[in-house]
Structure 1
Amino acid sequence: MELQKIDYDEYRQIAEGIGRPLPIEQTESWAEYQKTVEGRTPYGYFKLVDGTRVAAIMSVMDFQTHGYHYLRSEHGPVWLDEPDEAQERQAVEAIRSCLRGMGSHAVFVRMAVAHELDATRPTLSTIPYDRTVIVDVTGGDEAILSRMKPRGRRDVRKALREAPVTCADETQRAIESFDEYYEVMVETGERDGFVPAPASDYVTMLEVLGPEHCRLLAGRDEGGRVVTWSICTISGTRATRYYAASRNETMRRHVSDKLVYFECCEMGRLGCEEYDLMAIGSEFSPSLMGLNEFKTKFCKEVAEVAPDRDVPLRPAAYAALVQARRLVVARRQRREDKARKGTRGEKSEG
C-alpha cells in the first residue's frame, strides 16, 4: 500500500465515487475554515493506493501548538471499503513512511484508526471516541419520533408540551452578534469543566462554512433569552451536532430534548438523511459516559467509529512530548489535591 499526494480535483473525483458523504472535516470547505484558525494550515490531499486500486483518501492539516507541529486528518482516512486489521496496518505504515519522507517538521500524525496497532499511540491531549449516535432524520417529524427509544419519545413529547422554549434557526442572528450565545457557552464550560474557544471562532465557522454547511439553532425562553443552542454542520446528506450549550437553570426542564428534536426535524427538512450526535462513552472513552443517558434515547442503535490515534513520525520527539504531558498532568493533579485539602480544612475550622 502506498500514500500519494494528489490535487483537490482528483481528491473530489474519488470522493464523488465513494457513494456516501465525506465527513465535514475531510471537505475543502473545512480546510478553508481551518485556515482562519491561528496555527492551522492545510497540508494536502492524499490517496492510499493498494496495487492499482484506490483504497482511501484523506485531507491532512498541519497544526502548530506549544512550539511543535503535528499533522491531523480528522475522521480520515475515508475508506472506500471498510478495512480489516491487516489493511489498516499496511495503511498506517504507508502513511507514516510518506509523511516522514516529505520533510515535514511534524512530530506525529493524528488520524482515525479502528484497530489498536503497534504503530499507534493513545492521543496526547484530546479525548477520542469510538462510539456515537446517528439518528435517521428521513420521513418527516413523526417518522423521526417513531424511531426513537420509548424513553426518547416520552421525553420529546413532554418537552413539546412543557419545555418553556421556542426553537428556531438563528444562524444569521448569531453571525451579527454572538454575545448572548457565548454567554451560555461560558456557563456550560464552567459546569462541564472546559474552556470555550474565543467567540470569534464560532462566528468564523458560521461565516466561512456558510449556511449550506453550518447552522446555529437555538431555544429561547418566554422572555426571549437564549437558554440553549447548538451548531450543526452539514456535509451532503450527513449532519453533525458539532457544538452545544445550555444554561444550568434549564437542565431539568427538557429544553435540550426539544432542541435536539427540532434539530433532527430541521436537518431532515434541509435534505439530510442522518444526524450524528457526535460521541458517547465506552470502555475506550470512559470519561464520556456521562453523555450516554441523554444521547442514546434518540436512537435505538449505537454506531461504532474509528477513534483518533497518534502515529509518531519522530519517535524520540514524541516520547519527549509524552513525558512532558505526564509532568503537566501530575502538577495539575497536585494543585487540585492541595485545593481540595484546603477546602476541607476551611470547612472543619468553621
Structure 2
Amino acid sequence: MNCWNVYAIEKTEHHAMQVQELSRTEYEQCAADFAATVPIEQLPLWQDLEATVPGRSPWGYAAIKDGERLVALISLVQYETHGYRYLRAHHAPVWEEEPTAEQEAEALTALVDYVRGRDKKQVFMRLAVAHELPITTPCLSTLPYDTTVVIDLTGGDEAILSRMKPRGRRDVRKALRECTLTFSDETERAIESFDEYYEVMVETAARDGFTPAPAEDYRNMLEILGHDHCRLFAGRDGDQVITWTIATISGTHATRYYGASRTGAARNLATDRLIYFECCELGRIGCTEYDQMGIGSEFQPATMGLNTFKTKFAKDGVRMVAPDRDVPIKKTFYRALVAAKAARARLRSAKHAE
C-alpha cells in the first residue's frame, strides 16, 4: 500500500497511531477487505455525489493504523461556506472494532496533524466520535444523533412483521387491509424525471417545516449511487404518487434516507405500508438490516418526537451510534465562529422578546 504522507502520534508502547493517505483505488481495496460494513457515505461513490452540490468537493481518503495494523478508514469531503472551509466525514472514522476513548483521542490527534500538514485552510473537521473528548466540541450546526432504530430484515416477510412492537404489527396489518395504494420500486422512473416525486417532497416540507434540497440532488443520488446502492420505493393511487422513500444500500446494510408523503386522511396508513414494503423488498435483495436514520435521546432531545413512530417497527431495534462532533483545527478561528453563532442567537432572542 503506497502513501504520500504519514502523520504519527508516538505511544508509550513504542508504536504509533498513524494516518496514511490513500488513493481512491487503494481506499476501495481497503474498504472491500474491511471487516466492518463501510457506510454508504464512506464509499467513493458518495464523494462523486457530494461533488455535484455547490460548495462541496472531494478532499481525500485515508487509513488510520495502530502500528502496522489497519484500525479505521475515513473519506473526507470539503465543505465551503460563509468564506471558510471545513472537512466532513459522515459516519466516520469507520472502525474495524469499537474504539476506546483513548484510541479515538489518538486517532483524532493524528488526523488533526495530518490535515494541518496537508491543507492549511481547513478550520475544523466534523466526524462521528463515540466518546466526548477534550479534542471535540458540540457541532456548530446540524442536529447530530447518537441513537437510531435498526430493523432486522432476515427470515422473510412474516419474520419481519413478528419482530415489530405490538403497535407496529397492528398498524401494518391495518395498512395491509385498508390501504389501496399500489407499491413498487420506481428507481428507474425517478431517474428519468424526478418532478412528480419532488412535488410530494415540497408538500411534505411545507407541512413539516423544513426546506427540501433541490430536485436534482435527489435525482443525482439515485443516478450516481446506482441501482446497487440506492432505490426509490413509491406508493401510488392510480397514476398519482402519494408517498415515496429513497433507501441507500451498502453491503447488507440499508438506510431509509429520505421520505415524503402527501397530506391526507390515509397518510399514516400509506407510510406504514410503504415502510413494510421497503423492508420486505430490501430483505429479498439480500439486505439484513434497515437503519431508520436517528431518533431522539438525552443527547439530542429535539428529535424525541420521532421515537414513537420509528421504534414501533422494531421492538429490539434501538442502537447507539457515534454522533457527529466537531474537531477544531484552527482553534482561534473556530472560537470566533462559536462566538458569532452565540451573538446571532442572542439577537434573535432579543427580537422575539420585543
Same-fold status (TM-score > 0.5): yes
Once the two structures are superposed, residues 295-320 of structure 1 have per-residue CA deviations (whole angstroms, 9 ceiling, x without a partner) of 10111220110000000000111111
Q: Is residue 2:303 matched to residue 1:288?
A: yes
Q: Aligned pair 1:277/2:292, yes or no?
A: yes
- Whether 2:41 is the aligned partner of 1:25: answer yes
2:236 maps to a residue whose letter is: R
Give the corresponding residue for 1:347.
Answer: none
| Structure 1 SS opposite 2:38 | coil
Aligned pairs for 1:312-323 within 5 A:
312-323=328-339
Contact 1:218-1:226 within 8 A present in 2 as well: yes
From 270, 282, 287, the equivalent of 1:255 is 270
Match of 1:57 in 2: 73
Aligned 1:101-112 pairs, distance under 5 A: 101-112=117-128
Which whole-Å deviations, capped at 9, do the CAs of 1:311-341 have from their partners, x for residues lacking one?
0000111111112222333444455566xxx
Equivalent of 2:32 in 4, 13, 16: 16
Task: Give the counterpart letter for 1:144 in structure 2.
Answer: I
Aligned residues: 337
Kept in 1: contact 2:63–2:70 (CA 8 A): yes
In the alignment, what sits opposite 1:242? 257
Q: Does 1:163 align with 2:179?
A: yes
One-letter code aligned to 1:227:
I
CA contact (8 A) 2:179 2:266 kept: no
Instruction: Tell which deviates more after alignment, 90-99 or 174-183.
Output: 174-183
Change in Cα spacing, 1:219 to 1:333, as seen in structure 2 (3 Å) is: farther
Identity among equivalent pairs (%): 58
2:105 to 81, 89, 92: 89
State the Cα distance separating 1:164 from its structure 2 match. 3.3
- 1:9 positional shift: 2.8
What do you get for the CA RMSD once the two structures are aligned? 1.6
| SS class of match (1:133) | strand
Alignment of 1:35-74 (within 5 A): 35-74=51-90
TM-aligned CA deviation for residue 250 of structure 1:
4.2
Letter in 2 for 1:303: R
Aligned counterpart in structure 2 of residue 189 of structure 1, from 205, 217, 224: 205
More displaced, 77-86 or 99-108? 99-108
| TM-score, L = length of structure 1 | 0.92
Aligned in 2, Cα 1:158/1:336: closer, same or farther, shift over 3 Å? Answer: farther
Rounded to whole Å, the distance in 2 between the matches of 1:133 and 1:46 is 29
One-letter code aligned to 1:129 = Y
| Equivalent residues of 2:72, 2:95 under 8 A apart | yes
Moved more, 272-281 or 163-172: 163-172
Pair 1:210 & 2:229 matched: no
Instruction: Please tell me whether the aligned partners of residues 136 and 327 of structure 2 are also in contact (alpha carbons under 8 angstroms).
Output: yes
Distance in 1 of aligned mates of 2:351 and 2:154 = 50
Does the aligned pair in 1 maintain the 2:36–2:95 contact within 8 Å?
Answer: no
| Contact 1:227 1:250 (8 Å CA) reproduced | no
The AA in structure 2 aligned to 1:9 is T
Moved more, 327-336 or 270-279: 327-336
1:17 deviation in Å? Answer: 2.8
In structure 1, distance between residues paired with 2:249 and 2:350: 42
Letter aligned with residue 217 of structure 2: D
**Gap runs ≥5 in structure 1:** 339-350
**Structure 1 pair 155/45, CA: closer, same or farther in 2 (3 Å)?**
same
Please give the secondary structure, in 1, of the residue aligned with 2:312: helix
- Structure 2: stretches of 5+ with no match in the other structure: 1-16
Hey, what's the Cα distance between the residues in 1 that align with 2:271 and 2:131?
Answer: 34
Whole-Å separation in 1 of the counterparts to 2:137 and 2:261: 34
Contact 2:145 2:296 in 1 (8 A): yes
Q: Deviations over 1:179-226 (max 9, x none)?
A: 2211211122122221111111111111111111111111112x4321
User: In 2, distance between residues paired with 1:20 and 1:119?
Assistant: 25
Match of 1:345 in 2: none
Indicate conservation of the 8 Å contact 2:261/2:267, yes or no: no
2:248 alignment partner in structure 1? 233
Q: Which segment is superposed worse, 243-252 or 99-108? A: 243-252
SS of the residue corresponding to residue 130 of structure 2 reads: coil
Q: Is the 8 A contact 2:186 2:234 kept in 1?
A: yes
Given the superposition, is the C-alpha separation of residues 147 and 240 from structure 1 closer, same or farther in structure 2, using an over 3 Å criterion? Answer: same
